[in-house]
């Protein structure tokens, strides 16, 4: 599914992102960040001011605006830094944004539009597959090529910018796609099915644990009633039973996947339950594991 592939892309991209890029991602999708990093440079301080503190004025920005490019390095040539500056001082950054978009494609224009809420210019270049995907989704030209474009872009993307764009596009895509309701209902159904599967797993492992406990108690009673030297043997059996019961509960309820016998029994019971419902458990498990 596209949704699970997007989730995997985001996870990979965030792992490889800088603190500034992670802050930008958090700003786009959450409006803020639960944690922040310590600024080591004026640029990092600018991003913290814009995306974390959400200030209306920034001394750091004022100093950067007065500075001149050094070896063509300037905050206005970096997408995140430019967006940070424009979110604080949109009026004075208009010329920088226009200049930036003249040199870049629709992907960058879409990110600026998403972050700042401004319109995308009509003359932005469309050259790459992700540019074409953006164009089709925002213009609502949803045809058979959109799904293949999603797949192509997902396979070739690793950067956090691509992850942000694709996630935003998929949200828009579901709004204009004729089967969006069915897709959402499928995701809801899959979520509910996972919850049901988890409950069944817990109930089965609880039943197995109770069965082990019952057998242990039965054996303990028999031992006390029939064996000689009852007092000593009873103490030994009781201690052994306690240890076994604790281990059984721990294994049965917490890590059944690592215990082959318990896992085998659990799977057989689940197969029987789903078979009684006219379903094949292996297929259900495959669908439920799509997001992993």
142, 176, 210 — which closes off a domain?
A: 176
The dihedral formed by the CA atoms of 87, 89, 91 and 96, expressed in degrees to the nearest 10: -80
Which of 176, 211, 243 is where one domain is finished? 176
**pLDDT, tens digit (0-9, with 9 covering 90-100), for 201-227:** 666 666 766 776 677 667 666 666 665
Whether residues 125 and 238 share a domain: the answer is no
User: Of 140, 149, 138, 103, which is closest to residue 124 (Cα–Cα)?
Assistant: 103
Q: pLDDT digit string (tens) for 109-163?
A: 999 999 999 999 989 999 999 999 999 999 888 777 888 888 889 888 889 999 9
Q: Taking the chain (292 residues) in consecutive chunks of 10 residues, what is each chunk's mean pLDDT?
A: 80 92 91 74 94 92 90 90 96 95 96 95 93 92 81 89 93 71 50 62 68 69 60 64 61 51 71 71 62 47
Same domain, 204 and 104: no
Length of the chain: 292
Residue among 167, 133, 173 nearest 153 (CA) = 133
> Could you give the C-alpha distances from 84 to 8, 29, 178, 190, in angstroms and in order?
27, 15, 36, 38
Nearest to 290 by CA among 161, 204, 197: 197
Distance CA 37, CA 9 (A): 23
Predicted local confidence at residue 124, as pLDDT: 94
Which residues constitute the domain of residue 267? 182-288
- Count how many domains the chain has: 2
pLDDT for 292 equals: 46
- The reply to whether 166 and 197 lie within a common domain is no
Domain endpoint, select from 176, 210, 241: 176
């Amino acid at each position: 599914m596209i949704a699970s592939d997007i989730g995997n892309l985001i996870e990979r991209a965030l792992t490889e992102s800088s603190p500034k890029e992670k802050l930008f991602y958090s700003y786009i999708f959450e409006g803020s960040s639960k944690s922040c990093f310590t600024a080591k440079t004026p640029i990092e301080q600018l991003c913290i001011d814009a995306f974390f503190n959400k200030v209306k004025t920034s001394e750091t920005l004022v100093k950067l605006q007065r500075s001149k490019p050094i070896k063509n390095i300037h905050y206005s040539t970096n997408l995140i830094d430019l967006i940070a500056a424009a979110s604080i001082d949109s009026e004075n950054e208009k010329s920088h944004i226009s200049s930036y978009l003249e040199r870049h494609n629709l992907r960058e224009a879409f990110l600026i539009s998403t972050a700042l809420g401004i319109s995308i210019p009509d003359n932005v270049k469309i050259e790459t597959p992700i540019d074409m995907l953006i164009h089709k989704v925002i213009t609502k030209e949803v045809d058979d090529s959109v799904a293949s474009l999603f797949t192509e872009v997902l396979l070739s993307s690793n950067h956090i910018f691509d992850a942000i764009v694709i996630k935003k596009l998929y949200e828009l895509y579901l709004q204009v796609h004729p089967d969006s309701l069915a897709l959402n209902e499928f995701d809801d159904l899959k979520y509910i099915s996972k919850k049901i599967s988890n409950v069944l797993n817990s109930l089965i492992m609880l039943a197995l644990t109770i069965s082990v406990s019952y057998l242990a108690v039965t054996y303990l009673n028999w031992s006390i009633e029939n064996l000689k030297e009852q007092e000593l043997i009873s103490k030994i059996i009781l201690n052994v039973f306690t240890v076994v019961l604790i281990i059984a509960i721990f294994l049965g309820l917490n890590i059944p996947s690592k215990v082959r016998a318990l896992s085998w029994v659990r799977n057989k019971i689940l197969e029987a339950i789903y078979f009684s419902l006219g379903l094949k458990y292996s297929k259900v498990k495959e669908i439920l594991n799509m997001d992993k």
